[in-house]
Structure 1
């Protein structure tokens, strides 16, 4: 999830503006975790996309379930989440998780280095509707920011609803997302309809992206 309250060049996100209608998110997932339910679909796919012990960035980490799931699989994971209430929920659900309270737009190599975290990643994960809850008009900027954090050969895993998204979210048509990714210097390697890689559909999109380092 996304939304930073007090950084001037980071505008309020759709998540933060719709927050009264989204309070059930963290409690619902906390209950699922407590009940032992499977909440690891995204983490399983991310794990399959990387080598053992990979360095991974979980952008818009929410209450931390993907960060926790990937750490449990042996990866070095940095989770960022600007919503302080979700950071607190993540710590309560997964003690010691240590999410950084950062918006995607302010997550530069310099900022990560200042926090003692890696500055380049084999995989960047932004799942759970992060990209349809960004601040209006910042999608390309967010994609560029994350692209700049990819290590050579690194990839990006993004997922969001194409219809019936959460409160306050936008509709992000596949062709528009592809155009934004291309403008941000990324190549779309795969579009699927779920984290189990079902065929592309009109309800949910899972994207695998890589850097386009061809000469402009």
Structure 2
């Protein structure tokens, strides 16, 4: 039997920690191994308890979540998912720059929280769609540049030449901020099939994670900036 994923919860509000713990503890494949109320304690407990995933608040006393994430990731102690009520770009980019593997808002429902922990534990980067769209805007520049210019040229970016038509389609949908489940529903295939296609895309294009895939999709002109504003639309 596979050992459960070990999770450390970090937040300076006890009720928040208790709520996350309650959600995760009912899952057979997840185990909450500890709680911390500030970044310094998070770093110490990560070294001591060796969790697989740390759920990290941003604004905390003693040491904030960004610095704690940076120290944890630098020493390869665990993967970090940043959870915050602050839907602000500076937190997003600081967290990703510190090496966080995921970023979700605290108002995400229980199902998404559990999925986030599982995805990150499995080695996948995870971003909420609204965060993905801001990453795109920050990293690809204003409308009319990069992807728009590439699309206007009518010439496919040579980086995409190795992809099959289906892999191109999957990359485009991921670039619009859709989850694997949403891509599967859109293409009428199984989620496992989507994961296989996405793994092939990562391997062929030498991408580390979903964020890099999104940025490349825009840079290559596969999708345009407006395409990501509403992942649910056709």
More strand by share: 1
Instruction: Compare the two structures and name the one with the higher helix fraction.
Output: 2
Q: Please classify the TM superposition score into its range, dividing by the shorter chain length.
A: 0.3 to 0.5
With a CA cutoff of 8 Å and minimum separation of 6, indicate the structure with the bigger relative contact order: 1
Q: Structure 2 length normalisation: TM-score? A: 0.32
TM-score (norm 1): 0.34
